[in-house]
Chain A
C-alpha cells in the first residue's frame, strides 16, 4: 500500500499562511495593486499545491466532504475576485474574495472534517470533478454578485449613481448562473447514469433548483427592465438559498430523505 505524503496535518501550517497572504492582498489592492496580485497568487499556488498533494495522497479527487469543498471554495474565491477586479475595475471584489477565502481557510484549519480515502461507488464517475468544480466556482462568483447587489442597493437608497455596480451585478450573475446551470445539468446526466433518473427532487436537488431559479428570476427581472430595490434584493436572498443548498440542507427536516447529505 503506498504511503500518503500530504495530509490535513500539513494544512495547519499551509492554511494560515495562505490566509495571511490573501488578507494582505485584500488590504494592499487599493494602493499596491501589483503586490496584491502577487500575494494573492502566492496564496492560491500554496493552496493548489496542498490540493494536488492531498489528491495524490487520498488516491481520489478531494471533493467528497464539506472540508474538501471548502478547500476548493477558498481556492477559487480569491481568483474570481482577481479576475472580476481586472475585468470590471472594482478592487473591493478582490478584498471581498480574499477575506472570505481566509475565513474558509480558518474554518478548515479548525475543522478539516476529512479523514478517509474512501469514495463511494456512485461518486466514481467522470462527471464528479467537473460537477463539483463548476458548482464551487459558481458559488464564488455568485457570492460576489450578492455583495455587488447589496452595494448597488445601498447606493440606490442614497441617491448615488449605481449604473456601474448594477452592470457588475448583472455580469457576475450571468457568469455564476451559467456555471451553476452547467454543474446542475452535469449532475442530472450523472444521476441518470447512476440511478436511472435525471431528476428526482431529492432535498439537495430541490434546494439546488431553488437557488438556480432564484438567480434566473433576477436575470429575467433585469431583462424586463426592473432595477428597483425588490429586484436588487433577489441576489442576496438567492445566495442565502445557495448556502442552504451547500451547508444548511443537512440540518433541515427533509435531510433524512436525501442521498446527498455529507
Chain B
C-alpha cells in the first residue's frame, strides 16, 4: 500500500541523513521502540541514573557510550552521553593538556583546571537529569582512581541520582591496538607516521600520562558495577540488584560488539504480475531477476573497491571482510539474494524481517484506501508511526518486534551485513541506526536503484549510497 505524497508534520532535525544520536532533540512524542509512556516522561519507574564509564583511553568507551545511548533512546528512555573529552577540549584549546593532567600529585594549577572541567561536565549531567527531563546520563571519562569515583558517586547520590559504574577492560592487546588504529591515529597528530610506530607512541603516551589507573575493586565503595572484559567476551556484575533498567543495559552489553563491517540495505526486486499482495508469496518477475543480478554486481564491485582502498590506506595486505545476507522468508526476497548465495555467502532467512502487515489495505492502492476508509486515512496522517489500519501492524509494532534483529545486528562485528527487506522494515532499521525520530521513520525512502550503506565509527554512524545503474528507482512496493 502507498502513502500520501504530502502531509503536515514536524521534523525534529534538519536531516535524516545525519546520525541524530548526539541531538538533545525536542519532545516529539514516544520514541520508536517505546512500549508505553508516562506523565513524568520516565520509564520503568526507574529514577534518575548516571552511568559512569571507567577505563583507559582506547578501550572503546566512547563507542559504548554512544551505542548505549542509541539503544536506550530507542526504548524511549531519555538518554544523553556526556563526553568529558568534549569539555576538556573546550577548556584547553588545541587539546594541549598539561603533562601532569592525569597524575595524582599534579600542580595546583592543573588540579584547578581538572576540577573546573569535571565540574562543568558534572553540572551539565545534573542539569540534564534534574531540570531537563533526562532519565539516564552517560558520563564518558577515564575516571581512573577509586577516590575520584567515590567522590562522583557521593556527589550524584546526594542529588538522588543512582550511579552505575561500567568499566571497559581489555586484556587482549590486539583489541587495544585495533581500537587505537581505528579511532586515535587518524588524528592530525599522527599524520604521516608509520602505523605501528604511531600505535606504540600512543599507548606509551597513555601509560606515562595515566600511570596509576586503578581497576574497580570488589571492596571499593563503587561496588555496583559491571566490568566489560574484551568487549563483552566476559562480563562481571557486582552488587547489581538494581532494577529493570540496569538489566536492559546488561542485555545490550551482552550483545554489543565493536562493528568494523558495513550494514547495507537493499530492496527486493519487483514481483511477478506487478501487483503485490501480502497474502500471496510472489516470485520475482523477469525485471526483478535482472535487478537481483545488478544488485549483486554493484555491491560486490563496491566491496572490492573498499577493500582495495583500505589496503592502500593501511599499507599492508588485509583480508577481505566476509558478507552475510539477511532476508525475510518471502520468495522474492530470497530470490533477490540468490546471486549472493551462488557466490557462497551465507543467506539467512529471518521471520522477524517480514514486512509490515497491511491488514485490510492489502493489495489496495492508496487512492482506493482513501476512498474506502477515509476516516482511517485521516488518523494515519495524524500519527503515521503509531496508527494501525484495521487488522494491520503499525510502524511501532514492527519496531517492537525488531528488537532481536537490532541486537543481533549489534552482534555482527567483523563482517559486512546486507539486509534485503521490504521498505517498511528498512525504515525501522535505518531509524534505529541513524537515531531518527518516530515522526521521520514512516517517510524514509529507499529507491530501488540505490543501496544504502551505514558505517559505524566510535562517535556516530555515517550513511552513503551505492547506485545501481539502469534500475528504475520505483518507490512503490
Chains A and B form a bound pair: no
- Chain A residues in contact with chain B, CB under 8 A? none
